């Protein structure tokens, strides 16, 4: 289909873009990998598109002074792949779309879009990232844990732009894994799990487990984390923790996986991700 009529403005600066978002129902566009298909189907009909794709101030991907990491909102998947030092981040991002999508799609766009089957939200949740949001009213930092409010819905106000994503340093000795049951045609996650786990003194001292494709939003499986921390990390302890993979979630059911099967696969893939993060 052809999108409904809309006005178009290419922002010359971030301030220019923020000014254009004040009032009305304008939408920001960068890579366009998510918004344009919705517009063609007329599931989204913004009156105006504000193009931020040329704003160099929103690019960049690298370490911060405190040992953490910062990703500019306009960083593409391919640029993130080139910059990352984490093998499990590489595995996750390489599984997103195809080369063309990874060359155009942006990290900020994926997080702002909040697709409940997207891989990046689970990866960044497990890494304890926060979103830095800016509007003409000022700037605020929002942890991604709680940022996703529903399918394609976030805590971002209509006049805000996600400018970057930031995290602190990983705990010493922590490692991670991304495990995914992918739809064979689209590559989207039927179940996707990222686990970041660290041990100290013979027991699990740090655990972040995030799940996508299963619930209404990507989420931290906090019951799994609680069961894991303090345990010896044995196969039995991991299996017991993984049994809580869908606690408190309204598990999705569709033609690809019904509720019972998806819940079971969530448990299986949580266990696999934790085991892999522990090096087995």
Same domain flag for 114 and 143: yes
Given this model, what pLDDT does residue 31 score? 84
Residue 255 belongs to domain spanning: 175-277
Strand order across the 27-29 sheet: 7-10, 48-51, 27-29
Given this model, what pLDDT does residue 258 score? 97
Given this model, what pLDDT does residue 126 score? 98
Tell me the C-alpha distance between 213 and 69, whole Å: 26
Tell me the C-alpha distance between 264 and 214, whole Å: 10
Query: Residues 214, 217, 221, CA angle at the centre, nearest 5°?
Result: 65
Same domain flag for 218 and 263: yes
218 in a domain, yes or no? yes
22 in a domain, yes or no? yes
Query: Residues 243, 249, 254, CA angle at the centre, nearest 5°?
Result: 100
Tell me the C-alpha distance between 16 and 12, whole Å: 6
Same domain flag for 60 and 163: yes
159 in a domain, yes or no? yes
Same domain flag for 62 and 148: yes
CATH assignment at residue 41: 3.30.43.10
**Total number of domains in the chain:** 3
Same domain flag for 128 and 187: no
Residues of the chain with pLDDT under 70: none
Same domain flag for 31 and 64: no
Given this model, what pLDDT does residue 38 score? 87
Domain C-terminal end among 106, 137, 167:
167
Same domain flag for 140 and 241: no
Same domain flag for 64 and 108: yes
Tell me the C-alpha distance between 97 and 218, whole Å: 18
CATH assignment at residue 123: 3.30.465.10
267 in a domain, yes or no? yes
2 in a domain, yes or no? no
Given this model, what pLDDT does residue 225 score? 98
Same domain flag for 131 and 201: no
Same domain flag for 62 and 122: yes
Given this model, what pLDDT does residue 229 score? 97
Same domain flag for 65 and 158: yes
CATH assignment at residue 192: 3.30.390.50
122 in a domain, yes or no? yes
- Per the document, the length of the chain is 280
Same domain flag for 246 and 156: no
1 in a domain, yes or no? no
The DSSP annotation for the chain comes to: -PPPP-EEEE-SSHHHHHHHHSSTT-EEESS-TTHHHHHHTTS---SEEEE-TT-GGG--EEE-TTS-EEEETT-BHHHHHHH---HHHHHHHHTSS-HHHHHH-BHHHHHHHT-TT-HHHHHHHHTT-EEEEEETTEEEEEESTTTEEETTEES--TT-EEEEEEE-PPPTT-EEEEEEEE-TTT--EEEEEEEEEEEETTEEEEEEEEEESSSSS-EE-HHHHHHHTTS---HHHHHHHHTTTTTT------SS--HHHHHHHHHHHHHHHHHHHTT-
Given this model, what pLDDT does residue 44 score? 87
Report pLDDT digits (tens) over 62-81: 999 999 999 999 999 999 99
């Amino acid at each position: 289909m052809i999108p409904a009529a809309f006005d178009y403005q290419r922002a010359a600066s971030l301030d220019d873009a923020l000014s254009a978002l004040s009032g009305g129902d304008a939408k920001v566009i960068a890579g366009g990998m998510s918004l344009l298909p919705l517009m063609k189907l007329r599931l989204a009909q913004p009156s105006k598109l504000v193009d931020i794709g040329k704003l160099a101030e929103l690019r960049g991907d690298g370490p911060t002074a405190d040992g953490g990491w910062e990703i500019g909102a306009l960083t593409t998947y391919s640029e993130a792949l080139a910059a990352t030092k984490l093998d499990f981040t590489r595995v996750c991002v390489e599984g997103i779309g195809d080369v063309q999508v990874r060359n155009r799609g942006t990290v900020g766009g994926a997080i702002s879009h909040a697709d409940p089957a997207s891989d990046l939200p689970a990866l960044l949740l497990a890494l304890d990232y926060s979103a830095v949001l800016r509007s003409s009213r000022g700037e605020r930092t929002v942890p991604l844990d709680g940022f996703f409010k529903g399918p394609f819905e976030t805590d971002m106000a209509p006049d805000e732009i996600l400018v970057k994503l930031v995290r602190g340093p990983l705990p010493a000795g922590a490692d991670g894994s991304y495990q995914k049951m992918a739809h064979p045609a689209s590559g989207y996650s039927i179940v996707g799990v990222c686990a970041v786990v660290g041990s100290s003194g013979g027991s699990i001292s740090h655990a972040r487990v995030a799940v996508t494709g299963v619930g209404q939003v990507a989420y931290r499986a906090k019951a799994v984390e609680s069961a894991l921390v303090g345990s010896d990390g044995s196969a039995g302890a991991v299996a017991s923790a993984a049994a809580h993979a869908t606690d408190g979630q309204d598990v999705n059911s569709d033609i690809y996986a019904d509720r019972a099967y998806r819940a079971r696969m969530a448990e299986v893939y949580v266990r696999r991700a934790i085991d892999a993060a522990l090096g087995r």
